A and B are shown apart, each in its own frame.
Chain A
Amino acid sequence: MKPRVCILRTAGTNCDKETAFAFEAAGGDPELVHVNRLISSEKSLDNYHILVLPGGFSYGDDIAAGKILANELRCKLNQGLKRFIAAGKLIIGICNGFQILVKSGLLPGNDTLEQETSLIINDCGSFLDEWVYLKVTRSQSHKSQVKCVWAKDLPEEIYLPIAHGEGKFVVRDKQVLARLKKNNQIVFKYSDNPNGSLEDIAGICDDTGRILGLMPHPERHIDIRQHPRWEKTSGASLGHGFLIIKNGVEYAKNNLRG
């Protein structure tokens, strides 16, 4: 089975094509879907296994990055999303997609979809495009395990680019952070914090491990030519980002019905 992947687009999305390319390379069947087609019921989330919120500047990032699309998800697509999540399906939000997931309350996730975390303006005060090393956070009790299905069997440290102005991860209060830690929902941490994120957090998942949000761009490190020093990198030809996307596709293949 080729998992069907809904790559959600709207005005300002600009990473949809390469994200679709990445999912296709990993064995998925991606389709670019405009959010209005879901809102009008012309398309249904029920027909997909994976929902992807790609990077960009949805609605110009007016109000705050990702805020408007987050509200559309919360107010106009609420039922469909609830069904999608309850069916054990996967969601990944990359960069602007991560901002959308935290602002819609889908991450870290609670029953009321209340927003508990945010991604705010970088400490440096400006947009920043650079490659960063990320540590994959292991489970507190079982060091060999990771909770997030997207982060399975990754190397201890991975290399991906970031490109954002609002990527500083913050929480509403101490309890939220404590819960994230206790439930092993922190998936990636920056090795060298580029934006001032709390506890170097670069990506988190929900309590099921099936919804992932991260600021770095896995779709920009699919093949080795995207690595900034690929002429010096011998051997391996698959990028670290490919491994993340492959994990999602494989999980859907093995656990979800066609």
Chain B
Amino acid sequence: MIGEFTDTKRLQLFYHNHLVCDLDMQFLHEGLPRTEKKACYVSPKHKEPAIAVKKDLTLYLSRLLGDYDICSKEWVVRQYDHEVQGGTVLKPLVGIVNDGPSDAAIVKPVLDSQRAVIVSNGINFRYGFIDPYWMAASCIDEALRQIISVGGSLEEVALLDNFCWGNPDKPDRLGSLVRTSYGCYDIAKAFGVPFISGKDSLYNEYAVHGKSQAIPGTILISAIAVMKDAGKAISMYAKKPGNLIYIVGLTREELGGSHYYGLFKAMGNNVPRVYPVQANKTFQALSRASSKGLISAMHDCSEGGLGVAASEMAFAGGLGMELFLAEVPYSGMSCGGKKKIDRNDFVLFSESNSRFIVEIEKKDQKKFEKLLKGTVFGLIGCVSQGKDFKVFGLDGEICVDSNINDLKESWQKPLRW
């Protein structure tokens, strides 16, 4: 025992019976006056890009796979001992030759127990250029859906925030930070997941020609979840030819801040939003399906959208895939804009939140669809025997005609040093 609570309302510390500290509790708690800082936030308005409709999207898909935000990070992942202490049940790199991008890592900290911990991350600084509120919301959603992707549930989940920002003494920097915090608060509350800690790195500015420049305000959300049985872990790579491929969750016309727009040096304004009520339903339904062992593979749909997520599953599994965009539940009216003609590129590369690509065995089709009742989903294709990766557009014509070797090469090449 090193101390006791008293009613003196003072903090008193002793060293060998000598009083060495005697402080008023009022002073300890309220002594430091709260600083007041000014924050202002003005919604930016970006130009909407006019991207020509193209019949063949193969080249765009490979360029997205090679984007530095999307491409393989194997070079750096392997420089970190991610298996020390022997409890890593799901490794950061998975697949038939251990090189596909896992959605999260699963660690069994107690070796003779099957209880495990899932660790995942959500980050996307580009959305912050449009609206930091939805950046925060999207990052929380990404971290949570990665937990679902690897077979976890939201029963026991905690979040951490990590703010990397410019100088908060400047009202515009602080304004976007405050707006991000609102996003964190609202969405975490809506999902019922607590923030337990976090880390800030502020004053990230440097001078260019005498003018101080801030880094893009970036939030990283880490999520940690308890998994009762590590044996229920699900990896993201395609498992067997003939298995069915589903997309779960609604694809909206949310290309703002997308990597697809990035290919055209454009930003746009329709940033992906989070719809927690619908998202929660999707998360819970998929958790039930994975706990029943119905899911062969599942992958989080994020940067680069459906096109990138499905490609990663295919080449990590060393198997081909055929997909049909006409089966993707899609809404072109997400942000109150005018209804546009549905486009293959928007369906394939939209980065709407709360979406998953799921592989199941044909024999489980009915059971799986029954469990998904009340959610939005579409049976969009199947895993195929060869190496071909084919996507058929809304009109039924082929719009991506590639193979997994080429796609994998596009994805691995940029950071293969």
Contacts and interface: CB of A to CB of B under 8 A. Distances in A.
A220 B78 contact: no
Contact of A163 (B83, B98, B230, B235): B83
Given A18-B111, A126-B79, A131-B98, A225 B231 contact: yes
Contacts of A17: 85, 111
B78 A18 contact: no
A173 interface: no
B98 A18 contact: no
A127 B80 contact: yes
Contacts of B93: 228
Contacts, number: 66
A14 interface: yes
Interface string B211-244: 0000000000000000000110111000100000
A137 to B, nearest CB: 25
Given A163-B83, A163-B84, A228-B91, A130 B111 contact: no
A18 B79 contact: no
B239 A129 contact: no
A248 interface: no
Contact of A228 (B78, B84, B98): B98
Dominant secondary structure of chain B at its interface with chain A: loop
A18 B85 contact: yes
Nearest to B317: A232
Chain B interface bracket (under 10, 10 to 19, 20 to 34, 35 or more): 20 to 34
A205 B85 CA distance: 25
Contact of A129 (B78, B85, B96, B231): B78
Interface in B53-85: 77-85
A208 to B, nearest CB: 29
Interface string B95-132: 11010000000001001100000000000000000000
A57 to B, nearest CB: 10
B294 interface: no
Contacts of A225: 89, 108, 230-231
Given A21-B111, A231-B235, A226 B86 contact: yes
Given A18-B87, A18-B111, A21-B112, A228 B94 contact: yes
Contacts of A231: 233-235, 239
Interface residues of A, number: 26
Contacts of B77: 129
B88 A226 contact: yes
A129 B81 contact: yes
Contact of A15 (B78, B79, B84, B231): B84
Given A130-B78, A225-B230, A228-B98, A220 B83 contact: yes
A55 B85 CA distance: 10
Interface in A193-237: 217, 219-220, 222, 225-226, 228-232
19 contacts: A15-B84, A17-B111, A21-B112, A127-B78, A127-B79, A128-B78, A129-B77, A129-B78, A130-B98, A220-B86, A225-B108, A226-B83, A228-B91, A228-B94, A229-B96, A229-B98, A229-B235, A231-B239, A232-B239
Given A127-B78, A225-B231, 19 more contacts: A14-B85, A129-B77, A129-B79, A129-B80, A129-B81, A129-B82, A129-B83, A217-B83, A225-B230, A226-B88, A226-B89, A228-B91, A228-B93, A228-B98, A229-B94, A229-B98, A229-B235, A230-B89, A231-B233
